[in-house]
Amino acid sequence: MNEEKTPSTRKLRLSLVWLVSTIILSLIFTLAAAKGVQAQTARQQDPAGQYSAIIRNVFDFIQRHYVEEVDPKVLYEGAMAGMINSLGDPHSSFLPESEMSDLNDTTQGSFGGVGLYISKPVSAKPDGKPAYVEVASPIEDTPGWRSGINPGDLIIAINGESTDVLSMDEVLGKLRGTPGEEVKLIIRRGERLEFPVTIVRAVIEVPTTKYAMIDNIGYLKLLTFTPMTVERARDAVNEFQAKGYKGVILDLRNNYGGLLNSAVGITNLFVEGGVVVSTKSRISTENQVFYARNKAPVAPEIPMVVLINRGSASASEIVAGALKDRGRAWLVGEKSFGKGSVQQVYPLDRAGFKITTARYYTPSDVNIDKIGIPPDQEVLFPEFSEGDMEELNKLINDNKIPEWVAANSKATTAEADAFARRINSEYHLDTTLVKRLIRNEQNRTVIAPVYDLEYDVQLQEAVKILKQGNFKALMQTAKTLKALQDEAERDEESAKAS
């Protein structure tokens, strides 16, 4: 028998339904909130995982939905470049295949090629002539050098393909390759002479040193720091010793750096024992200290001058900083670039990336990043006024020096000096500057000399210092980088107090 439902009974049951529904909804919201909190906590605990998942999702979304088909390699390289660029570090970068290949050639110290320094305009020249490849210089004792190719020659075709339409990467790809294979070139010399040259690729060692004697002074110029640099520098020292040298000049100007171990090895040639450089990273267990050996090939009593300028960076500054802090050398020139960080290169298939992993410190425990190393004796090349720059710009655009050098390939020094005086009277430029411009143009068509004592004022000063005979007294006035940094801080504090 069914119970009759009174209004009060119906209200009671309806209240129970609402109560149960409210409890169920509360449980649902509580569970949802708990999951949200858990998700938020997970994101806080693993933000890297969250962001990498988002990047992957965006990559896939673009692949599926962008209005045009996209090469995944383009997206990958763009993402890599953007990610590393976001560090705001000019020394960390993504390296596409071509850049990775060039970097490997430098860091390994050798590559398969023909042995030519080349340049190429990115577009047709202002005079309308094609943008052919120009030979800056053949590397001595390489197939390119032995083939008779000269500085200033144009490579107008490689294996039958005009270089006018090739990019620099494409040109390098055709000139470099497996040793033993032939490369066929068409060379243009001057306006009319054109001839074929067949070169067999060989293993080319990256040029890293130049050296010669200046009277009884050994002059050693380091171009870069590769695995071969220490060995080639040791060859130079052996030659200096055989010729009875009484002093040494180490030229680090415009040397952008290279391998850390190579910089330590070079310092070992001149310093006996003690710290050369230390590196400090975010991970303390990865910090390192590099020491010199107890016996140096260059005896401590041999006076030494180091040349630096604003183009001296990284490994060059490691060497200059160590020699200065250890009281081994007198620095001449101008303040160095100021790159006090260490980069590691990591391969990614045929591409890769370069990233800063540590900062280096000189023996007096100073990091010179964005500061540079000041010389003990500043020697600057003459600076140009605005009027000089206008006259120089006009002279360059008039093309008179290249035209004269081309027409007078066998000019004597006296003839070049007479031409310089004529240019001086017309353009009102310093005669020494004009002579130097003429010499530079002449060197474009011959193998450049190891040094140019006539116009290099910094080298002139280095030679003068070593010949004066008071080097020991001079070195007693030198200060470590730490002492110079402390002085600068005290001067700054005094200036603020006053």
pLDDT at residue 494, as a whole number = 81
Query: How many Å apart are CA 467 and CA 216, to the nearest integer?
Result: 9
Query: How many Å apart are CA 157 and CA 187, to the nearest integer?
Result: 8
Q: Where are the domains of the chain?
A: 116-205, 209-342+356-376, 386-459
| CA 160 to chain CA centroid, nearest Å | 34
pLDDT at residue 3, as a whole number = 41
Query: How many Å apart are CA 398 and CA 163, to the nearest integer?
Result: 27
Given the residues 210, 221, 339, 354, select the one marked as catalytic.
339
pTM, to two decimals: 0.79
Query: How many Å apart are CA 76 and CA 241, to the nearest integer?
Result: 54
Collapsing DSSP to helix, strand or coil, 412 comes out as coil
| CA 72 to chain CA centroid, nearest Å | 30
Specify whether domain 116-205 bears CATH 2.60.120.1570: no
pLDDT at residue 152, as a whole number = 84
Contacts of 172 by beta carbon, 8 Å cutoff, 6+ apart: 98, 102
Q: Strand 193-200 relative to strand 182-189: parallel, antiparallel, unpaired?
A: antiparallel
pLDDT at residue 63, as a whole number = 92
- Catalytic-residue membership of 325: yes
- Catalytic-residue membership of 101: no
pLDDT at residue 4, as a whole number = 43
Given the residues 312, 314, 316, 341, select the one marked as catalytic.
314
Superfamily covering domain 209-342+356-376: 2-enoyl-CoA Hydratase; Chain A, domain 1 (3.90.226.10)
Query: How many Å apart are CA 372 and CA 309, to the nearest integer?
Result: 10
- Catalytic-residue membership of 120: no
Query: How many Å apart are CA 48 and CA 490, to the nearest integer?
Result: 44
Residue ranges for the chain with pLDDT beneath 50: 1-5, 7, 12, 20, 25
Rg of the chain, C-alpha, whole Å: 33
State the Cα angle at 250 between 245 and 256, rounded to 5°: 160
Structure tokens belonging to residue 381: 């090349």
Query: How many Å apart are CA 218 and CA 389, to the nearest integer?
Result: 36
Query: How many Å apart are CA 384 and CA 458, to the nearest integer?
Result: 17
Given the residues 325, 364, 435, 456, select the one marked as catalytic.
325
CA distances from 316 to 97, 210, 312 (A): 27, 15, 6
| CA 402 to chain CA centroid, nearest Å | 30
CA distances from 247 to 73, 305, 466, 467 (A): 55, 8, 6, 9
